[in-house]
Amino acid sequence: MKSCWIALLLASATLAADPPNVVLLYADDLGYGDVSCYGSKTIATPHIDKLAAEGLRFTDGHCAAATCTPSRFAMLTGEYAFRQKGTGVLPGDAKLIIKPGRATLASVFKGAGYQTAVVGKWHLGLGEGGLDWNGAIQPGPLEIGFTHCFIMAATGDRVPCVYVQDRNIVGLDPADPIQVSYQQPFPGEPTGKANPELLRMHPSHGHDMALINGISRIGYMKGGKAALWKDEDMADTFTAQAVKFMEKSKDGPFFLYFAAHDPHVPRVPHPRFVGKSGMGPRGDAILQFDDSVGTILATLDRLGLKENTLVLLSSDNGPVVDDGYQDEAVQKLGSHHPAGPLRGGKYSAFEAGTRVPFIVRWPAKVKPGVSPALVCQVDFPASFAALTGQQAPVAAVDSQNVLPALLGEDKTGRAELVEQGGPLSLRQGNWKFIPANQGPARSKSTDNETGNALGPQLYDLSKDLGESQNLAQTQPDLTQSMAAALEKARLGAGK
């Protein structure tokens, strides 16, 4: 017993003396079946596969919601987004939805003396409303715990199509100020709707407003011409920024939140990936994400940081094929299953809405393998507070310390998890409950299954991972108790 305590004390002393760097490699809309280490035979992702082979691959790892904004809100704050109004998919001119000064995943690391960077997709709002994009853009990431920031405000398909570094738009010419509106077009500026002849990629749904680089987007903008991003270069730009941050912070410790845009729409990969997947731009964008992962991992090797860096790879929500552009994703899908063996996808209450690739590599500490533990990104604030010897943030009310599971010491993880896929659903062990919901069974635009049904659904994932046998009728007691447990969790009773 005594030696046990000594070992434990020694272990925490080592952690405190030599805290690991943490690199979070975060894809956008990457599905459970979109990487070869999760069983896909139709796409090859060698860098992600190598990471998995050297690390711990979770088969039941989740993001907190089936779309971006609520998922990232929960991951950064440790609170489920459904508890807060205004945390749905945000327009590009939304105000910051995390209160400045609130403890976040980033501030947890900052509090432990880390340099903390977000590079890539933000989508949590900026400013306080009515932002002047030509002045200091704040509050933003720097007000909630990041020491460095190089981001796009929202998504690739939403204006403004520019990068923001710390508090300013990169490359903005003051003589050509930028204006953004989600209300009305700017007279004289081309739009997808009015000028389809200027488009190189046509929308399938929405996306017919501001026309930037031959692609029409959501929202309108004017000016800022010199600052506009080039879609083809976006992955390289973000990756280079990530590399620069790691080089600068190599004496550590550092936390890098690398929020890639791939394979979100519009899918416009660099020419070196075009045609390489045989699946059109969606597949090519996945190869591009894999390449970014490869570059970042090679940088850790080069800087001699591989051993004591915890790399975590995951996605912000499940996959979608047609998400609003005619980019051949449907036609060229072939036998590829973006959700793998799971049912549903982005926007869905079925498992593929939130069960995503989830890999942890930390050579100094984590034994390679596969873990069935139920873990969720909402657990990051509490878990990384534990890793850095701190208390979990008080407001991280849904964040559980699953560090032992992340490190491979515990194979169970959470006993229970709420999944926010539009309608809320509940996991208890291998049981999955989806309450009765009105609404279409499939999304009209994306064709993804929503999980809506007029009666309750109950699945035993241990035998039926694809959620095909609804057991709600045959197991009424369990259905009822899980309905009650979901209601209790929704009201916030306990973690």
Interface residues with Ca ion (CB under 5 A) are 28-29, 68, 316-317
Residue 94 is a binding residue for ligand NG6 (CB under 6 A): no
d(CA 49, CA 290): 9
Q: Which residue of the chain is nearest ligand NG6 when measured via CB?
A: 68
CB of 72 to Ca ion, least distance (A): 9
Q: Please, which residue, 89 or 397, has the CB nearer to ligand NG6?
A: 89
Among 31-39, 199-207, 290-298, 382-390, the segment contacting ligand NG6 (CB under 6 A): 199-207
Residue 92 is a binding residue for ligand NG6 (CB under 6 A): no
Which one among 323, 327, 351, 379 touches ligand NG6, defined by CB under 6 A?
Answer: 323
Among 112-120, 178-186, 317-325, 357-365, the segment contacting ligand NG6 (CB under 6 A): 317-325
Which one among 83, 205, 270, 332 touches ligand NG6, defined by CB under 6 A?
Answer: 205
Strand (E) or helix (H) holding 151? strand 148-152
Residue 240 is a binding residue for ligand NG6 (CB under 6 A): no
What does the DSSP assignment read for 419-475? EESSSEEEEETTEEEE----S-SB-TTT--B----SS-EEEETTT-TT--S--TTT-
CB neighbours of 131 closer than 8 A, spacing ≥ 6?
93, 95, 137
Using CB under 6 A as the binding criterion, the count of chain residues that bind ligand NG6 stands at 18
- CA quadruple 59, 358, 46, 241: dihedral, nearest 10: 180
Among 173-181, 202-210, 231-239, 271-279, the segment contacting ligand NG6 (CB under 6 A): 202-210
Residue 125 is a binding residue for ligand NG6 (CB under 6 A): no
Instruction: Specify whether the backbone of 45 is left (phi greater than 0), alpha (psi in -120 to 50) or beta.
Output: beta
Q: Please, which residue, 119 or 406, has the CB nearer to ligand NG6?
A: 119
Nearest Cα to Cα of residue 391 among 196, 71, 107, 63: 107
Strands 168-169 and 416-420: unpaired
Q: Please, which residue, 52 or 321, has the CB nearer to ligand NG6?
A: 321
CB of 68 to Ca ion, least distance (A): 4
d(CA 30, CA 345): 10
The single-letter code of the amino acid at 199 is L
Q: Note whether 98 and 77 are within 8 A (CB).
A: yes
Q: Which does 218 bind (CB under 5 to 8 A by kind): ligand NG6, Ca ion, none?
A: ligand NG6
3-state secondary structure (DSSP) of residue 327: coil
Which one among 201, 265, 310, 486 touches ligand NG6, defined by CB under 6 A?
Answer: 265
Tell which positions 133-192 bind ligand NG6, by CB under 6 A. 155, 157
Q: Please, which residue, 177 or 206, has the CB nearer to ligand NG6?
A: 206
- CA quadruple 491, 393, 102, 414: dihedral, nearest 10: -50
Which one among 206, 294, 363, 404 touches ligand NG6, defined by CB under 6 A?
Answer: 206
Q: How many C-beta atoms lie closer than 10 Å to residue 468's C-beta? A: 8
Q: Please, which residue, 86 or 135, has the CB nearer to ligand NG6?
A: 86
List interacting residues with ligand NG6 (CB under 6 A): 28-29, 67-68, 89, 123, 155, 157, 205-207, 218, 264-265, 317, 323-324, 445
